[in-house]
Amino acid sequence: MYAALGIVLIVAGAILTFAVDRQAEGVDIDAIGWILMAGGGIALLVALFQAAAWTSWRNRHYVTERHVSPDGEHYVEESKMS
């Protein structure tokens, strides 16, 4: 979701900065365009970090081992994440 938002913000900011030649009184359209592009870049970074976290979480495996004592009365259970 953040990736799409970032792309939309970058495109809108680039249009305002580089393609619009009009001037509005009291409003700097170029500055608004640069702000939108910066916000789009931040949104893309957030999307990148979310994707990296999701990928590392998805690739984790849990292994549980149960070791029984020779007399059969006691056992130890070990859980590992790899």
Largest CA distance in the chain: 89
Read off the pTM. Answer: 0.67
Number of structural domains in the chain? 1
Task: Output b/e per residue, 19-30; b: 16+ Cβ within 10 A.
Answer: eeeeeeeeeeee
57-76 pLDDT tens trace: 666 677 778 888 888 778 77
Pull the structure tokens for residue 25.
């009184």
Domain range for 75 is: 2-81
6-29 pLDDT tens trace: 999 999 999 999 999 999 899 999
